[in-house]
Amino acid sequence: MSLDRFVSLWPEQGSHYAEQVDWLVIGFTGMMALFVVPVFVFLWIFVFRYRRGRAALRDHRPDGSLKVEITWMLLPFIGALVLFVYSARLFFEARTPPADALEIQVTAKQWMWKFQHHGGQREINTLHVPAERAVKLTMISEDVIHSLFLPSLRVKQDVLPGRYTQMWFQAERPGTYDLYCAEYCGTDHAAMGARLVVLSPSDYQRWLEGAGDAPSLAAQGEALFRQFGCSGCHAVASVTRAPPLQGLYGRSVALADGSRVVADDAYLRDSILLPQKQVVAGYAPVMPTYTHVMDEEAVARLVAYIRSLADTPPDPSPPHTEDPQ
C-alpha cells in the first residue's frame, strides 16, 4: 500500500463531475493564493525597507487612493461571484439525478453495505455498476447514521435511519474504486468499506445475467405483498376498505388532515412503517404498522412493487376482475 493512497495531490478522477469539483478546489486555492501571496511579499519588503535604523525616505506617505480601494474590493468580489456561480451549478447538478438514471437501493447497517438491483440481484460490500450511465442510489440505514463516500467520484451522502436519502453519479471508465463509510458509526466503522466495480456496458449486462436469476425487485415485492397480508386489504375485492395502490406512485394524495403529498419512495415507505403518520383522506386509520415485522430491504422491495403499479390505471370497480398485466 503506497502513501499515495492516503495523501495524493492529484487523486483519481472517476467522473466528469469529479473533474469539475477539482477545478473548483483549484480555482478556490488559486484565488486565495492571489490574495495571500502579495500581502506577504509586500509585508516582507516593507519590513526590511522601513525597519528602524534604516535610511529610507519616509515622507510623502499617500493618504488614500480611491482607485486602489475600489480595485481591491471589486476584483475579489467578481472572483468570489464566479466561484459561487460555478459551485452553485455543481451543487444543483449533484442534487438532480437524471430521470433515466439506473436505480439501486442501498441499505447500510453496522458494519456493512447491502445493495439491491432493479432486476433483483443482491450484493454485500461490492457494487457493480455500468460505466457511462447515471446511477442513482436510494439509501437508508437500519441502525445509526452512516455516510456513503466515493472519493474518486467526489460524492458523499449521509445514510440515515428512518429516512431515504439519494445520491447519483456517472462513472466514466471501467475500474474498481473505493467506497467508504464517512460517518463514525461504531467499533468497526473503519472496516465498513466496500468496492465499486464499474464495468463497461456490455460487461455489466453479462454480470447481470450471471448474478443469478432472482425475480425482479418488484416481483419480490409482490410476493411480500401477499405474504404479509397487504393484499387482504388492498386487493380490489377485499372487505376492509383500503385505497387501491394502482397508479398511486407519483400522484398527489389527499390526506385526512387536509394536506396533500406526492406519493414518492419516502411516502410509500412511511405508509408501510408508520401508517398513522399520513392517513389517506376518506379512509379509517386501520392499517397496522410493519415497523418490527419487516426490515428496510423488504420495505424497499414493496416500494418497488407499488412503483411498478404506477402505470396500471386506478380501477377499483368492478370487483373480481383480474388485472390484465
Query: Choosing among Cu ion, ligand HEC, none, which partner's interface includes residue 18 (Cβ < 5 to 8 Å by kind)?
Result: none
Query: Choosing among Cu ion, ligand HEC, none, which partner's interface includes residue 118 (Cβ < 5 to 8 Å by kind)?
Result: none
Q: Which residues bind Cu ion (CB under 5 A)?
A: 146, 181, 185, 192
Query: Choosing among Cu ion, ligand HEC, none, which partner's interface includes residue 192 (Cβ < 5 to 8 Å by kind)?
Result: Cu ion
Set of cell numbers at residue 205: 449486462
Nearer to Cu ion, 146 or 269 (CB): 146
The nearest distance, CB 215 to ligand HEC, in angstroms, is: 17
320 in Cβ contact with 237 (< 8 Å): yes
The nearest distance, CB 269 to ligand HEC, in angstroms, is: 9
The alpha carbon of 248 is separated from its chain's Cα centroid by a whole number of angstroms, namely 24
Residue tagged 407499488 (cell numbers) = 306
E strand or H helix at 114? strand 112-117
Nearer to ligand HEC, 150 or 272 (CB): 272
For 150, how many CA atoms within 13 A lie in the half-sphere containing its CB? 22
User: What are the residues facing 165 on neighbouring strands?
Assistant: 139
Q: Which residues bind ligand HEC (CB under 6 A)?
A: 228-230, 232-234, 240, 242-243, 245, 248, 253, 263, 268, 271-272, 275, 279-280, 283-288, 290, 302, 306
The nearest distance, CB 1 to Cu ion, in angstroms, is: 22
Amino acid residing at 309: L
The span from the CA of 36 to the CA of 230, in Å, is 65
128 in Cβ contact with 204 (< 8 Å): yes
Query: Choosing among ligand HEC, Cu ion, none, which partner's interface includes residue 27 (Cβ < 5 to 8 Å by kind)?
Result: none
Query: Choosing among Cu ion, ligand HEC, none, which partner's interface includes residue 185 (Cβ < 5 to 8 Å by kind)?
Result: Cu ion
Nearer to ligand HEC, 83 or 219 (CB): 219
User: What are the residues facing 237 on neighbouring strands?
Assistant: none
The span from the CA of 299 to the CA of 270, in Å, is 10
The nearest distance, CB 95 to Cu ion, in angstroms, is: 22
Nearer to Cu ion, 132 or 188 (CB): 188
Going along 118-259, which residue ranges are E strands? 122-124, 126-130, 135-141, 146-150, 155-159, 165-169, 175-181, 194-199, 252-254
The span from the CA of 289 to the CA of 272, in Å, is 6
By beta-carbon distance, which residue lies closest to ligand HEC? 230
The nearest distance, CB 266 to ligand HEC, in angstroms, is: 11
The nearest distance, CB 228 to ligand HEC, in angstroms, is: 4
Nearer to Cu ion, 182 or 198 (CB): 182
